[in-house]
């Protein structure tokens, strides 16, 4: 897990009041430039603001006492506080167009078994012994085929799932919940959280399908499962098109934990509809952000907080929107691939 916080951005001489990061330039703008600012239900976003204060970056930390005090305030009071204490900055790349791309992710929920059986045969693994951070390990194909890779993972199984595409989904989303049937027949819900990867490159399965001539792959994972049902002999080829493999750790799930999302890279629980994953070289963790994405699938104009990251989330104006937990959130996440504009809300 990356440590929260970041070096405060430095001022650029020629652009009075502008700030820069390694991949982005922040230009100060009036609040009137933010689409939908007067209409957003800010009290919903305030949940993420308060959660953010558990591990704030250095710039936001001095404001956290006031943020907590305003947790039960009316949206108009929260809006007034933001305008008094924060300055909007339009986020733009150092070169190129200011419009970027928004995608979405979620926390899936699957049935699983603590022991393999006829129905549940696809393992979900803990981190194997000997895995070295930032050093490439076996690819997904090698994990499935090489005896030495399988030996390294023997005994590291957390649980078994029924569908290899569901396991791939967990790898892509980075976390999920499992409704596990234990060896004694009892059931309980647990969370599996991202622990490490094999440090191999991520490749889009949907792009691979398109390259194979599949014409309808927009509804992930439904279209992928349909393709597999029609081409069962090519399942391994599809899975191996993405060399990256993710390892997990199991976490208990009490009532408090179940009410929020998984812990993001910032180190705080994600808030459904109010947390985003970003490129840290553009936006530091813990930064309140105004997000505007006109759709067409899911029109959005709202307060969010930068609290996570992802291997595919690269660039100045790039974000992954956390849609929440379960099938409904998954349907939202599958539809989002649309234009994006971002504004950092930085302390004055």
Share of the chain above pLDDT 90, in %: 80
**H or E stretch covering 123:** strand 122-125
4 inside domain = no
Q: Is the domain of 158 the same as that of 294?
A: no
Contacts of 191 (CB under 8 A, 6+ apart): 175, 176, 177, 178, 250, 251, 252, 253, 257, 262
Q: Is the domain of 287 the same as that of 232?
A: no
Residue 254 has pLDDT above 50, yes or no: yes
Residue 186 has pLDDT above 80, yes or no: yes
Residue 233 has pLDDT above 50, yes or no: yes
CATH code, domain carrying 153: 2.40.240.50
80 inside domain = yes
Q: Are 102 and 340 in contact (CB under 8 A)?
A: yes
Contacts of 307 (CB under 8 A, 6+ apart): 48, 51, 52, 264, 265, 266, 268, 270, 271, 275, 276, 277, 285, 286
Q: Is the domain of 230 the same as that of 295?
A: no
Structure tokens at 62: 């001095």
185 inside domain = yes
Q: Is the domain of 209 the same as that of 333?
A: no
159 inside domain = yes
Q: Is the domain of 284 the same as that of 249?
A: no
2 inside domain = no
- Cis check for the bond before 287: say yes or no (omega within 30 of 0): no
Q: Is the domain of 39 the same as that of 73?
A: yes
Phi/psi of residue 222, nearest 5 degrees: -55, -45
181 inside domain = yes
Q: Is the domain of 230 the same as that of 211?
A: yes
Among residues 230, 257, 284, the one where a domain terminates is 257
CATH code, domain carrying 320: 2.40.40.10
Domain that holds residue 149: 107-257
Q: Is the domain of 340 the same as that of 320?
A: yes
pLDDT attached to residue 218? 66
Q: Are 342 and 306 in contact (CB under 8 A)?
A: no
Residue 3 has pLDDT above 80, yes or no: no
pTM of the model as a whole: 0.86
3-state secondary structure of 141: helix
Query: pLDDT-derived band of residue 17, with 50, 70 and 90 as boundaries?
Result: confident
Please, which residues bridge with residue 276 across strands?
Answer: 306, 321
Residue 13 has pLDDT above 50, yes or no: no
64 inside domain = yes
Among residues 229, 257, 285, the one where a domain terminates is 257
1 inside domain = no
Residue 4 has pLDDT above 70, yes or no: no
Residue 240 has pLDDT above 80, yes or no: yes
Q: Is the domain of 143 the same as that of 189?
A: yes
Q: Is the domain of 167 the same as that of 302?
A: no
Q: Is the domain of 248 the same as that of 267?
A: no
Range 186-203 average pLDDT: 94
Domains held by the chain: number: 2
Among residues 257, 281, 307, the one where a domain terminates is 257
Q: What is the pLDDT of residues 114-137, one digit of tens each?
A: 999 999 999 999 999 889 989 999
**pLDDT averaged over every residue in the chain:** 92
Q: Is the domain of 111 the same as that of 99?
A: no
């Amino acid at each position: 897990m990356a440590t929260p916080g970041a070096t405060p951005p430095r001022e650029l001489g020629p652009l009075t009041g502008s700030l820069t990061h390694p991949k982005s330039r922040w230009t100060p703008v009036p609040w009137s430039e933010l689409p939908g600012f007067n209409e957003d239900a800010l009290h919903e976003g305030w949940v993420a603001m308060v959660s953010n204060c558990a591990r704030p970056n250095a710039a936001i930390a001095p404001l956290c006492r006031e943020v907590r005090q305003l947790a039960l305030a009316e949206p108009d009071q929260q809006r007034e506080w933001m305008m008094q204490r924060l300055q909007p900055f339009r986020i733009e790349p150092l070169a190129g167009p200011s419009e970027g791309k928004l995608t979405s992710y979620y926390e899936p929920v699957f049935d699983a078994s603590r022991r393999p059986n006829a129905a549940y045969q696809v393992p979900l693994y803990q981190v194997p012994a000997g895995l070295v951070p930032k050093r490439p390990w076996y690819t997904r194909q090698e994990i499935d085929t090489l005896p030495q890779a399988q030996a390294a993972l023997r005994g590291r199984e957390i649980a078994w799932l029924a569908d290899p595409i569901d396991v791939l989904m967990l790898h892509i989303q980075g976390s999920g919940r499992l409704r596990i049937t234990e060896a004694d027949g009892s059931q309980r819900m647990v969370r599996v959280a991202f622990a490490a990867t094999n440090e191999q490159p991520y490749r889009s399965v949907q792009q691979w399908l398109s390259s194979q001539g599949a014409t309808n792959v927009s509804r992930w994972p439904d279209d992928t499962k349909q393709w597999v049902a029609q081409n069962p002999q090519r399942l391994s080829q599809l899975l191996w098109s993405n060399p990256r493999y993710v390892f997990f750790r199991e976490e208990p799930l009490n009532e408090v934990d179940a009410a929020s999302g998984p812990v993001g890279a910032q180190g705080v629980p994600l808030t459904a509809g109010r947390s985003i994953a970003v490129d840290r070289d553009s936006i530091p963790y813990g930064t309140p952000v105004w997000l505007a994405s006109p759709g067409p699938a899911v029109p959005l104009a709202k307060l969010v907080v930068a609290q996570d990251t992802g291997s595919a989330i690269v660039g100045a104006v790039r974000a992954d929107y956390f849609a929440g937990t379960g099938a409904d959130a998954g349907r939202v996440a599958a539809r989002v691939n649309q234009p994006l504009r971002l504004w950092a809300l930085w302390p004055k």
